[in-house]
C-alpha cells in the first residue's frame, strides 16, 4: 500500500483495522546493492575476456601483415633457372668486353 492509499484509510488496514506500519526498505536496498556489485564483477570479467580476444586478433593481424610483406618480397625477386643465370653471366661478360674496346 502506498502513502496516499494509507492516508485515505487513516493509516489503518482496510481489512482488519490495525495500524499500518511503514516498511523497512533497508533489506531491499542491501539486496539491490549486492546485485549491483555482482553485476559489476561479471562485467569486469567479461571485459577482461574481451581484452584477451582483441589482443589475439591483433596478434593474428600482425602475423598476416608480416606474411603478406614476405610474400610480396618473394614475388618481387624473380627466380632464375640455372640456364638463365649462365646466359645472363655470358651477356654481362660480353657487355664488359664491348665496353673495354
The domain segmentation of the chain, as residue ranges, is 23-100
pTM of the model: 0.45
Residue 78 binned pLDDT confidence (cut-offs 50, 70, 90): low
Q: Which helix (H) or strand (E) holds 83?
A: helix 82-100
Q: How far apart are CA 87 and CA 95, in angstroms?
A: 12
Among 1-5, 20-24, 60-64, 92-96, the least confident range: 92-96
Q: How far apart are CA 66 and CA 60, in angstroms?
A: 10
Residue 101 binned pLDDT confidence (cut-offs 50, 70, 90): low
Q: What is the pLDDT of residues 15-55, one digit of tens each?
A: 888 887 777 788 899 999 999 999 999 999 999 999 999 99
Q: Taking residues 44-69, what's their average pLDDT?
A: 93
Q: Taking residues 53-82, what's their average pLDDT?
A: 81
Q: List Cα–Cα distances, 84 to 58, 65, 80, 81, 94, in angstroms.
A: 43, 33, 6, 5, 15
Amino acid at each position: 500500500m502506498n502513502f496516499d492509499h494509507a492516508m485515505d484509510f487513516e493509516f489503518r488496514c482496510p481489512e482488519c483495522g490495525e495500524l499500518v506500519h511503514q516498511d523497512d526498505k533497508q533489506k531491499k536496498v542491501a539486496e539491490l546493492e549486492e546485485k549491483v556489485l555482482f553485476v559489476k564483477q561479471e562485467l569486469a570479467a567479461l571485459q577482461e575476456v574481451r581484452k584477451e580476444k582483441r589482443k589475439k586478433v591483433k596478434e593474428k593481424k600482425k602475423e598476416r601483415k608480416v606474411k603478406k610483406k614476405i610474400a610480396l618480397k618473394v614475388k618481387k625477386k624473380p627466380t632464375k633457372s640455372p640456364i638463365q643465370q649462365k646466359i645472363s653471366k655470358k651477356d654481362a661478360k660480353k657487355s664488359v668486353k664491348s665496353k673495354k674496346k
